[in-house]
Amino acid sequence: MKAAIIGGGVIGGGWAARFLLNGWDVAVFDPDPDTPRKINEVRANAQASLPAISDTPMPDIGCLTFSQSLEESAQDADYVQESVSENLALKHRVYAAIQEAAPQVPIGSSTSGYKPSQLQEGAVNPASIFVAHPFNPVYLLPLVEVVPSHRNDPQIIDRAKEILTELGMFPLHVRKEIDAHIADRFLEAVWREALWLVKDGVATTEEIDEAIRMGFGLRWGQMGLFETYRIAGGEAGMKHFMAQFGPCLSWPWTRLTDVPEFNDALVDLIAGQSDAQSGQHSIRDLERIRDSNLVGFLRALKERNWGAGRVLNAHDAARATAAAASAPPAVSQAPMTLAQMQVLPGWIDYNGHMTESRYLFAASETTDAFLRHIGAGLDYVAAGHSYYTAETHIMHLGEARLGDRLTGSVQVLAADEKRLHLFIRIGTEGEAVATLEQMLLHVDMKAGRACPAAPEVQERLFAIREAQATLPRPSAAGRHVGQGRA
């Protein structure tokens, strides 16, 4: 299959990457001599990200070529995506050249605002021209608004929707052509209000962005507008929400004052459609679905220390610092409990148990806490030295489930100036659910070889080693896989 991409800017480059990574051959036409560089840079970004959201292997990447003319790019194409500047006369010239070479090929336009009937004016075959409006980055976001006019061939529109679906996209069929379609009209309303807030000195651009990404943007990302407001209505549903907040349409809450009349007909229309959309779920069900999705979003943001995730990470760090300052673990003859964790939704496998990798994660958190305690934390690593894990052996003894609180404790089996031999217990409610034996080597990171730990680190480490020297050696220590436990 071959796609022709007309226009190699941000959107055209995104389309090219989306098609290529889904196994299509792609011919790009753009007179800008920098087009090959731009397209290949966008493709590199797409190759680094799109496969990460797929749980099945991506197909072999398609063949990319750069055409010398519109006619050449459209030759033998199964689909054309036009992404040139928002200039109607320019788009008409593009369509004329394409249809001279391939009059029947479907032509989707990335236009943000023009209606399909405007695009079709004067075309040789208006039935094959329609709007296919994506969102940036095109290679990741699934939404594409497919907008036909009464002149379009329904079979061409159906085929276009099939192609877009095969690319992993969500073709939203817009039933009635209108300037700027659906999503951009909504965004434009928010944009205009934001401009007024900045102009009037009410908020800065950063404060407006924070209002979106710390709050309602997260809700919209997984439930949209109407389903979010349905929950806001509580058990009484959308009608109750409309009754509470409908009168706000006449209040000075926005600069956009051209609003529909708030009456029973509008309430019934909105409530009826909301019932059809979400009525199969109770409000409590919707709340649980919302909360689960938000936890997923927020944990992803935490991993990247971005947006709301940055706030949550700072909160975690503050609590961890306070906990460490208030109760530093004492050196004693008992294993040292150094880590406190809780089994989170993302830690659970299809059996409802904590997944294998998370036992290793829990052990890693415990080891990191021990290294911090002996003075080999991140500052020590930044200075060029670290303990590297050379070997780990894990035994699964029990099951940890969602919400279980876990502890991680450390027993030093042996230690010298270069080596550290630990036995880690991961437990819940006083019972070990796993034990891990680890051998670590102290490394000069720049030289890439083992070396003695710093004197102050050795001093703290050896004090713990001596305090725990009388502890019985765990029966699991030194076991090989398959040996009996006795």
- Kindly state the tokens that stand for 30: 């753009």
Which of 173, 204, 236 is at the close of a domain? 173
Q: What's the mean pLDDT when you consider all of the chain?
A: 90
202 domain-assigned: no
Q: Which has the higher per-residue pLDDT, 329 or 6? A: 6
Given pLDDT bands bounded at 50, 70 and 90, which one contains residue 326?
A: low
Nearest to 11 by CA among 94, 80, 70, 81: 81
Given pLDDT bands bounded at 50, 70 and 90, which one contains residue 485?
A: low
Beta bridge partners of 171: 144
251 domain-assigned: no
Given pLDDT bands bounded at 50, 70 and 90, which one contains residue 463?
A: very high
CATH code of 124's domain: 3.40.50.720
Q: What is the mean pLDDT of residues 405-424?
A: 96
192 domain-assigned: no
Given pLDDT bands bounded at 50, 70 and 90, which one contains residue 307?
A: confident
341 domain-assigned: yes
CB contact set of 63 (below 8 Å; sequence gap of 6+): 25, 26
Q: What is the mean pLDDT of residues 37-59?
A: 87
Which of 149, 173, 197 is at the close of a domain? 173
Integer CA distances (angstroms), 86 to 76, 109, 112, 182, in order:
26, 10, 8, 17
67 domain-assigned: yes
Give the helix/strand (H/E) hosting 42: helix 35-49
Instruction: Say if CB 341 and CB 365 are below 8 A apart.
Output: yes
226 domain-assigned: no
Q: What is the mean pLDDT of residues 120-147?
A: 95
Q: What is the mean pLDDT of residues 193-205?
A: 90
- pLDDT for the residue numbered 258: 81
Burial per residue of 145-161, b for 16 or more beta-carbon CB atoms within 10 angstroms, e otherwise: bbbbbeebbeebbeebb
- Kindly state the tokens that stand for 127: 């039935």
Q: What is the DSSP string of 187-207?
A: HHHHHHHHHHHHHTTS--HHH
380 domain-assigned: yes
SS3 assignment, position 1:
coil
What is the C-alpha to C-alpha distance for residues 74 and 125, in angstroms, rounded to an integer? Answer: 15
Q: Which residue has the tokens 């929950």?
A: 231
pLDDT in tens, 201-249: 988 989 999 999 899 888 888 888 888 888 888 888 888 888 888 888 7
For the cut 90, the answer to whether the pLDDT of residue 54 exceeds it is no
Task: Provide the pairing of β-strand 107-109 with 79-82.
Answer: parallel
For the cut 70, the answer to whether the pLDDT of residue 329 exceeds it is no
User: For 11-20, 107-116, 232-241, which range has the lowest pLDDT when averaged over its residues?
Assistant: 232-241
Which of 136, 151, 173 is at the close of a domain? 173
Q: Which has the higher per-residue pLDDT, 405 or 322? A: 405
Cis peptide before 137 (omega within 30 of 0): yes
Rounded to a whole number of angstroms, the CA Rg of the chain reads: 30
Q: What is the mean pLDDT of residues 347-353?
A: 85
What is the C-alpha to C-alpha distance for residues 60 and 17, in angstroms, rounded to an integer? Answer: 13
- Kindly state the tokens that stand for 433: 């659910």
- pLDDT for the residue numbered 325: 67
For the cut 90, the answer to whether the pLDDT of residue 434 exceeds it is yes
- pLDDT for the residue numbered 313: 85
Nearest to 67 by CA among 2, 137, 10, 119: 2
What is the C-alpha to C-alpha distance for residues 438 and 305, in angstroms, rounded to an integer? Answer: 30
What is the C-alpha to C-alpha distance for residues 97 and 4, in angstroms, rounded to an integer? Answer: 13
Given pLDDT bands bounded at 50, 70 and 90, which one contains residue 327?
A: low
Share of the chain above pLDDT 90, in %: 60
The total number of structural domains in the chain stands at 2
For the cut 90, the answer to whether the pLDDT of residue 334 exceeds it is no
- pLDDT for the residue numbered 324: 65
CATH code of 454's domain: 3.10.129.10
- pLDDT for the residue numbered 464: 95
For the cut 70, the answer to whether the pLDDT of residue 410 exceeds it is yes
Q: Which residue has the tokens 């800017």?
A: 9
Q: What is the DSSP letter of 353?
A: B
396 lies in which domain range? 333-467
Global pTM? Answer: 0.69
- pLDDT for the residue numbered 115: 96
- pLDDT for the residue numbered 285: 86
Sign of CA dihedral 135, 139, 227, 308: negative
- pLDDT for the residue numbered 484: 67
For the cut 80, the answer to whether the pLDDT of residue 480 exceeds it is no
- Count of CB atoms within 10 A of residue 390's CB? 13
Q: What is the DSSP letter of 60?
A: P
- pLDDT for the residue numbered 116: 97
What is the C-alpha to C-alpha distance for residues 247 and 230, in angstroms, rounded to an integer? Answer: 17
233 domain-assigned: no
For the cut 70, the answer to whether the pLDDT of residue 323 exceeds it is no
Q: Which residue has the tokens 């039935």?
A: 127
Give the helix/strand (H/E) hosting 71: helix 70-74
SS (H, E, C) 291-346: HHHHHHHHHHHHHHCCCHHHHHHHHHHHHHHHHHHHCCCCCCCCCEEEEEEECCHH
Q: In one letter, which amino acid is 256?
A: L
